[in-house]
Amino acid sequence: MSILVNKNSKVIVQGITGAEGEFHTKQMLEYGTNVVGGVTPGKGGHKTIDETINVYNSVEESVTDTGANTSIIFVPPPFAADAIIESSYAGIDLIVCITEGVPIQDMVKVKQVVEKNGTRLIGPNCPGIITVDECKLGIMPGFICQKGNIGVVSKSGTLTYEAIDQLVNSGLGQTTAIGIGGDPIIGTSMKDCLELFQKDTETEGVVIIGEIGGQMEIEAAQWAKENMSKPIAGFIAGQTAPPGKRMGHAGAIVSGGNDTAKAKMDFLEKCDIAVSESVADIGALMKSLMN
């Protein structure tokens, strides 16, 4: 089992003929991801990636021809929202948007569309998702992962990789790891991921990596306290960030309420989530919870 993606996911790449799209498509194919086509308006009818992948003018064409149910987006920020909306209306079930810098006002419209159509969106501004040894969607380095029974969900891309490395060093593998992104408006929340991991029979524990700003970790922790039967290890980044200072992600700005690192760490602990003060200890903490 896994969540959201597996070896049977039929993937199209929007922006496949761009430099990033082409590079990461090759990486995904090497990992074993079932990429069935690509989309670049105006380049339909061509082939790319050593003449192995068909390019289509629209998502609708690619879905009709390949039966694709999953899309990953590598297009510039001004066009990312339209790319998401196009996929949603074409019937794609899961969309992963890697693009950084998508305007907030664009995401307001996107959020309405995907919720109306029942589309699952991960991102934007995220590293993607990987179900170990089955499917890699995005820019995560697949070689650092090891198949196992721990789910990972993180706002931060690089801290996702660090958490995975710490887990592997502690002898723990992963089922699925998700980088949900750190923008103010994203498609899939931490709580959403916990719900999916709770239902997954192979996932026996979860690592959550949060950060300052917003209420996402608070909402996830509250839900977990009331509904989660699996152990959770958590870490909150930005412990030294001053109030009012934006740190990295567009959503990581402290307003002075319960969105500080300390406030979130305290709340997680009140909700029976084990909290690590250092990301370097997250693997050992998770291992202690699994014993």
Identify the active-site residue in 24, 136, 155, 249: 249
Exposed, middle or buried, 143 (CB in 10 Å: 0-12/13-18/19+)? exposed
Is residue 230 within 8 Å of 205, Cβ to Cβ? Answer: yes
Distance CA 185, CA 104 (A): 7
Task: Report how far residue 239's alpha carbon sits from residue 95's, in angstroms, rounded to the nearest whole number.
Answer: 32
Instruction: Name the one residue in this structure whose structure tokens are 């959403």.
Output: 192
Task: State the DSSP code for 151.
Answer: E
Q: How far is Cα 214 from Cα 119, in angstroms, rounded to an integer?
A: 23
Cα-Cα-Cα-Cα dihedral sign, residues 97, 103, 107, 110? negative
10: left (phi over 0), alpha (psi -120 to 50) or beta: beta
3-state secondary structure of 35: strand
Q: How crowded is the C-beta side of 253, counted as CA atoms within 13 Å? A: 8
Neighbours of 70 (CB within 10 A): 26
Cα gap 91→272, rounded to integer Å? 39
Confirm whether 46 is a catalytic residue. no
Q: Are strands 274-275 and 205-211 parallel, antiparallel or unpaired?
A: unpaired
- Collapsing DSSP to helix, strand or coil, 165 comes out as helix
* Residues labelled as active-site residues: 249
